[in-house]
A and B are shown apart, each in its own frame.
Chain A
C-alpha cells in the first residue's frame, strides 16, 4: 500500500498526542514549551499533507504554515523571556512552585 494522506495525518496525530502528554505531565516550564513546539509541528505536517493531497496547485496550506511558523517563533521568544524572568525572581522553573497567585 503506497503512502497517502492518511499516513501523514496519523503521523501528525501521533506527534500531537506525544506533545499533548508532555505538555500535561511535565513539571519543568521549558519542557512544556518544547512539547508545545512539538504539537505545532504536528499541526504543520497535517496542513502540508492536506495542501499536497487535496489542493496540490493552490498552496494555501503552505502559506498558512508560514504564518504558523512566524507565530510559533514569536511565542517561543516571549515564553522563554517570561520563564527566565520568573526564574530570576523565584529561582525555579517548576510550574507547581510558581504559585504566587494561587490561594
Chain B
C-alpha cells in the first residue's frame, strides 16, 4: 500500500499524543503530511453552554489551541524531515474534509478516536486510520 498525501485531522477534542505516532507513520511511508484543525461553530456554542463560558472567549481559546497543535505537529515533522502543510478552518467538519481530500488528493486520514470525530469514520471519502 502506498500513501503519498496523508491528512491528520485535529479538533478541540484532540490531544498531543497523536503527534508522534502520526509522524512515525509518515516517516515509514515517506508521505507528505497535511494537518487540518477544524472548529465547528455549533460545537463551540454547545461547549460554551455546557461550561457556562462566553462563546467568543471559548472561540478565542480553541482557535489559539488549534494553532498551537498545528505548530507542535510541524515542529516534530521538521525534526523528522517530513513535509507538512498547516491548515486552520472553521465550518462543517465533513464538508471541509471532503473538499480537502479532493483538493489535495489525500490518500488517507488519520485521527484520534474521540467524540468529535466519530462521524468521520462513516462519511470520509478515503480510508480512516484511528489512533
Q: Do A and B come from one complex?
A: no
Please report A residues at the B interface, Cβ cutoff 8 Å: none
Please report B residues at the A interface, Cβ cutoff 8 Å: none
